[in-house]
Amino acid sequence: MRGAVATCWGVAFATVTAGGCSAASAPVPRDQRSGPAATIASEWTAKREAAAPAPPAPVPPGTREPGEPREPWVLHVGDSFVDAYFQQNLRPRFRESGSRYVAQSVVATYTTTWAYDPTFDAWLARKPALVIVTLGANEADIPVPEQHAKAIARIARKIAAAGAACVWTTPPLWRQDTGIVQVIHDHAAPCLFFESDAVMGSLSVAERNPDRIHPNPRGGARWAGAFWRWLESHRDPSAGPWALRPFEPRDPQFALPGSSSSP
């Protein structure tokens, strides 16, 4: 295993859902896109997404929008896999933990999309305590995944600069990737790395939608459950509400089903 550690744009924290995941294609040059929901690539159904609303204005660090709650909040960004019964199962868990959870997923987006998008910067300016990144599905079959290494590192650096803890979760793969998971592993630091398939095992056909790609309710529940247990095991409450320990815990109470802990 490469190691389980190392880690819908909307306005006013509205969650925008999107479904479908495109076959990977070359990223669109920066000067040809206005936001992460611009028509970056075709979906599996060959449809395209409409352009996103204008991004919210950045909020000065350390300030809050009028009416914003004071509790720590969590930002979850990524492609359509965020909304494939992943965020739906994570949301109540974060709520029960006392944290607001904001999921921002955009269909057919890439690491190169998010790395240079000003809307992502605006969300980071609101100072989330934790950022979860779920990207890589649309890059699973690109011929030279190493070309996206700089974009992956740029995303991680932006999150770190915002003072947030970070976890990068890879999608449950439906086929052998051409190397993007390894590239994410190698360049996502200081984000912790959660390799979904390595931690929970592959999803079966019965745990995926009819497209045989995205998790269905059953698969999404298992994925979210494995991630949540892993996340809880890495929390360091003494350092902050969502501070994370960058190493594997040895306490057997956190062992995932079928896994073994080192002595």
| Cα 161 to Cα 24, 64, 158, distances in angstroms | 29, 18, 5
Residue 248 has what pLDDT? 78
- Rounded to whole angstroms, how far apart are CA atoms 76 and 198? 21
Burial class (CB in 10 A: 0-12, 13-18, 19+), 58: middle
6 close to 244: Cβ distance less than 8 angstroms: no
DSSP three-state, residue 90: helix
Determine what percent of the chain is predicted with pLDDT higher than 90.
Answer: 67
Q: What share of the chain is helix, strand, coil (3-state, %, to 5)?
A: 35, 10, 55
Domain total for the chain?
1
Assess if residue 198 is contained within a domain.
yes
Closest CA to 164 of 241, 90, 56, 81: 241
Q: 44-84, pLDDT tens digit by residue?
A: 222 334 344 444 444 444 445 555 546 899 999 999 999 99
57 within domain boundaries: no
CB atoms inside a 10 Å sphere around CB 80: 28
Q: What is the pLDDT of residue 15?
A: 38
List 166's β-bridge partners, or say none.
131
At 168, which helix (H) or strand (E)?
Answer: strand 165-169
CATH of the domain at 181: 3.40.50.1110
Phi first, then psi, for residue 13 (nearest 5°) are 65, 30
Q: Mean pLDDT over residues 156-171, rounded?
A: 98
Whether 216 is covered by a domain: the verdict is yes
DSSP 207: G
Residue 131 belongs to some domain of the structure: yes
Sorted by sequence, the CB contacts under 8 Å of residue 66 that are 6+ apart come out as none
Bridge partners of residue 134, in order along the sequence: 78, 169
% of the chain beyond a pLDDT of 70 = 68
CA distance 50 to 197: 32
Token couple for 178 = 């051409």
What is the token pair recorded at 156?
A: 């991680």
pLDDT of residue 247: 86
Q: What range defines the domain where residue 149 resides?
A: 35-51+70-248
195 closest CA partner among 226, 156, 232: 226
Are 207 and 16 a contacting pair, CB within 8 Å? no
Domain-embedded: residue 19: no
What integer pLDDT is reported at residue 193 of this predicted model?
A: 97
In a domain, 241, yes or no: yes
Please report whether residue 59 resides in a domain: no
Span 83-129, pLDDT tens digits:
999 999 999 999 999 999 999 999 999 999 999 999 999 999 999 99
**DSSP letters for 120-157:** HHHHHTT--SEEEEE--GGGTT-S-GGGGHHHHHHHHH
Average of pLDDT values for 236-258? 77
Mean pLDDT value across the chain: 79
Residue 18, in any domain of the structure: no
Q: Between vectors from CA 151 to CA 147 and to CA 153, what angle results, nearest 5°?
A: 110
Q: What is the helix (H) or strand (E) element at residue 78, kind and residue range?
A: strand 73-78
